[in-house]
Chain A
Amino acid sequence: MSEKKDLAAQSSHDAPAPHEKQDWEQHINDQLLFQANILQNVRDGIIVTDMQGTISYWNTGATQIFGYQPEEMLGKTPALLYPNVDQEQMATDLQHILAGNDFVNHWKGRTKNGQVVWVDIKTTPLYDGHGKVIGFIGVSRDATQNKLAQEQLQESENRFRILADTSPVLIWMADQSKECIYFNKMWLDFTGRTLEHEKGYGWAEGVHPDDYASCLEQYVAAFDQHLPFTMEYRLLRSDGIYRWILDTGSPRFAPDDTFLGYIGSCVDITERKEFETRKDEFVALLSHELKTPITSLKGFTQILQRRFKEHDDGQALQFLARMNKQLGKLSVLINDLLEISKMQRETLPLHYEDFDLKSLIQEIVENLQAPTLTHQIIFESSASVFVHADRDRIGQVLLNILNNAVKYSPQADKIVLHMTIDQQNVTVSVQDFGIGIAAPHQQSIFERFYRVPDPIEKTFPGLGIGLYISREIIQRHHGRIWVEGEKGEGSTFNFTLPLSKNGNAPFQDDRK
């Protein structure tokens, strides 16, 4: 800054004149050298031409941009640098500059080795000491990086549009205010409406009246928390038919984590829904057809049981009791089949109530603890623990885990049941002393139809859906279910349930 100021001061007419001629010449030389150095060291390219456009000055900055040395360019014209720029236009531009206007442009140039270079250019007239225009000064700055970034952005934008518009899914985008700002071609083709109609909340006009409230509720709830969501609703197609849509929305964030809105994609799941309905109908029919013969078999068996009781035929009675028990098992299997079909459609209804988990466990243990049961179930309970849950379903989970504990510990004679609580949850643990489960299977046993692929385990009958149903039930109660233990050393099945907000005594640690 101070250098510039000195320079300005020294070059002005008020500057004190040196006393001797030699000193004066020296001073002028220093000045010229200094100014020439400035021009040379400026990072921008400075190119000066005469009135005919012939280059008379070329600085280092220009060499850095275009690759030509000054001696290669002096005497040439800038047209060599801008082969794509219309020469007539260039002449017109020069007239414009001569009229005293600044000229600013963004030109595509070519370097010495043929590379494209984007240049921000500003051209001004060059005046002599008498105010006469004697040429032009062009100041150019390499803007290739900016241009490339811009092009990449454009390309990325184009790629998104092409992807979005040729994709077979319906795509929408919303801004921070929840209003939709974009719908892809597939969406607009599907609804038969224009982008203007769909923008904002216009799209919601096509949502089935019965789904409208829940659809908007889920949308707004997810939006407010910036969480991903999936929802199903019926959307009016251009032919006037409502179709089931599965809509998956994801929040969008800027690189600095600023929330930008949402992007969502939708698929038409009507056919899948129809198929599921048909499948459910089929399974329902199948179970009806299977249960009908069981009903008469069970009926006849029980009539015989009653009649044999009168004749006091012990062995026949025993056989009939076993027949009846097997028929009971068949019924359970059919119900499992139904359950699983229902569960896939997420129609498992839960009937919530506040109840004492301890008394439910006691009830189930008492029912199970028949004299014929080979195991003793040890349940040492303390205080009541109230949960807000579906009592029957939780009972189903407990029964399933206890039955498994008996089934998979044929050599053992006891099962230990614990209940512990913390501030939020109650954990129920069922420990057996049976064959155990190897670590790799401990996750998979909760999957549908999973059976441990082991010759020993294979000898245990079952469909492999009990734990799947249990997990579904527990997860729908916002609980967790898992197993601990090692192969050969027994298993402990645990599940948690959130404590009821009402009815529980202040938190006590039962584990003491």
Chain B
Amino acid sequence: MLESAKKVVLVDDDLDILEAIQAMLEDEGYIVITTDRGEDIEEILRLEHPDLIVLDMLLSGKDGREIAKHLKSQESTRHIPILMLSAHPRAAKEAQGFAINGFLAKPFEMDELLAKVALYC
């Protein structure tokens, strides 16, 4: 299992959501690295090579949209799929303007999240 375990980096500034999603994914056998600070993502990516980044759009501090834009502009990180999450009503529409790979509106059903994650991993 260990060799084939997929790695997901999860960024959300709401600690409860962070923990809930982490538990969901870990129950499914994913390795999950979490952070509630968007600023930490580059440091994490220097050490880890995730199969997917699950990124909240409206982060306090460094905004999810800026992070996505930056990661997609970098040679070293461009290939990593990004699944964006948001509870903001206009987020789905706004997300279309970014070079992200998928979008999921909060709140979501666990099955929806798992299906999306499985799509990219």
Which of A46-54, A57-65, A98-106, A290-298 is the interface stretch? A290-298
Pick from B16, B23, B58: contact of A293, CB below 8 A. B16
Q: Does A287 contact B (CB under 8 A)?
A: yes
B39-54 at interface with A (beta carbon < 8 Å): none
Q: Does A449 contact B (CB under 8 A)?
A: no
Interchain CA distance A296-B16 in the complex, whole Å? 6
Which of B64-72, B74-82, B95-103, B107-115 is the interface stretch? B107-115
Contact A327 to B107, CB < 8 A, known contacts A288-B87, A296-B16, A299-B21:
yes
Interchain CA distance A296-B14 in the complex, whole Å? 9
Pick from A288, A299, A300: contact of B89, CB below 8 A. A288
Q: Does B3 contact A (CB under 8 A)?
A: no
Pick from B90, B107, B110: contact of A284, CB below 8 A. B90
Q: Are B17 and A292 in contact (CB under 8 A)?
A: yes
Distance in Å: Cβ of A327 to nearest Cβ of chain B = 7
Q: Does A250 contact B (CB under 8 A)?
A: no
Closest to B93 in A: A349
Q: Are B88 and A299 in contact (CB under 8 A)?
A: no
Max count, chain B CB within 10 A of own CB: residue among A302, A306, A331: A302
Q: Does A338 contact B (CB under 8 A)?
A: yes
Question: Could you say which residues of chain B place their CB within 8 Å of the CB of A327?
Answer: 107
Contact A284 to B89, CB < 8 A, known contacts A292-B14, A295-B108:
yes
Interchain CA distance A288-B109 in the complex, whole Å? 17
Q: Does B33 contact A (CB under 8 A)?
A: no
Q: Are B107 and A298 in contact (CB under 8 A)?
A: yes
B residues lining the A interface (CB < 8 Å)? 14, 16-17, 19-21, 23-24, 27, 58, 86-90, 106-110
Q: Does A38 contact B (CB under 8 A)?
A: no
Pick from A291, A303, A306: contact of B107, CB below 8 A. A291
Interchain CA distance A303-B5 in the complex, whole Å? 20
Q: Are B14 and A299 in contact (CB under 8 A)?
A: no
Question: Could you say which residues of chain B place their CB within 8 Å of the CB of A295?
Answer: 14, 17, 20, 87, 106-108
Contact A296 to B17, CB < 8 A, known contacts A302-B110, A331-B107:
yes
Q: Are B106 and A300 in contact (CB under 8 A)?
A: no
Closest to A331 in B: B107
Question: Could you say which residues of chain A place their CB within 8 Å of the CB of B27?
Answer: 303, 306-307
- 8 A-B residue pairs with Cβ-Cβ distance under 8 Å, sorted by A, are A292-B14, A292-B106, A295-B106, A296-B19, A299-B16, A299-B107, A302-B24, A302-B109
Q: Are A287 and B89 in contact (CB under 8 A)?
A: yes
Question: Could you say which residues of chain A place their CB within 8 Å of the CB of B109?
Answer: 298, 302
Q: Are B88 and A284 in contact (CB under 8 A)?
A: yes
Question: Could you say which residues of chain A place their CB within 8 Å of the CB of B16?
Answer: 293, 296, 299-300
Contact A303 to B110, CB < 8 A, known contacts A296-B14, A296-B16:
yes
Question: Could you say which residues of chain B place their CB within 8 Å of the CB of A291?
Answer: 87, 106-107
Q: Using a Cβ cutoff of 8 Å, how many contacts connect chains A and B?
A: 62
Closest to A284 in B: B89
Question: Could you say which residues of chain A place their CB within 8 Å of the CB of B89?
Answer: 284, 287-288, 338
Max count, chain B CB within 10 A of own CB: residue among A294, A296, A307, A327: A296
Interchain CA distance A338-B17 in the complex, whole Å? 22
Q: Besides the contacts A284-B89, A284-B90, A300-B23, what 9 more A-B pairs have beta carbons closer than 8 Å?
A: A288-B58, A288-B86, A291-B87, A296-B17, A299-B20, A299-B107, A300-B20, A303-B24, A303-B110
Closest to B14 in A: A292
Question: Could you say which residues of chain B place their CB within 8 Å of the CB of A338?
Answer: 89
Q: Are A292 and B87 in contact (CB under 8 A)?
A: yes
Question: Could you say which residues of chain B place their CB within 8 Å of the CB of A297?
Answer: 107
Question: Could you say which residues of chain B place their CB within 8 Å of the CB of A288?
Answer: 58, 86-89
Contact A299 to B110, CB < 8 A, known contacts A292-B14, A292-B17, A293-B16:
yes
Question: Could you say which residues of chain A place their CB within 8 Å of the CB of B17?
Answer: 292, 295-296, 299
Pick from A287, A296, A307: contact of B20, CB below 8 A. A296
Closest to B109 in A: A302
Interchain CA distance A291-B86 in the complex, whole Å? 9
Question: Could you say which residues of chain A place their CB within 8 Å of the CB of B19?
Answer: 296
Question: Could you say which residues of chain B place their CB within 8 Å of the CB of A303?
Answer: 20, 23-24, 27, 110
Interchain CA distance A338-B91 in the complex, whole Å? 13
Interchain CA distance A298-B106 in the complex, whole Å? 10
A98-125 at interface with B (beta carbon < 8 Å): none
* Cβ contacts A292-334/B at 8 Å (1 or 0 each): 1111111110110011000000000000000000010001000
Distance in Å: Cβ of B54 to nearest Cβ of chain A = 12
Question: Could you say which residues of chain A place their CB within 8 Å of the CB of B58?
Answer: 288
Max count, chain B CB within 10 A of own CB: residue among A292, A299, A327: A299
Interchain CA distance A295-B24 in the complex, whole Å? 13
Q: Are A287 and B110 in contact (CB under 8 A)?
A: no
Interchain CA distance A302-B16 in the complex, whole Å? 14
Max count, chain A CB within 10 A of own CB: residue among B24, B88, B90, B106: B106
Interchain CA distance A284-B89 in the complex, whole Å? 6
Question: Could you say which residues of chain A place their CB within 8 Å of the CB of B88?
Answer: 284, 288
Kindly list the 3 A-B residue pairs having the minimum CB-CB distance in the complex, ordered from nearest. Answer: A299-B20, A296-B16, A291-B87
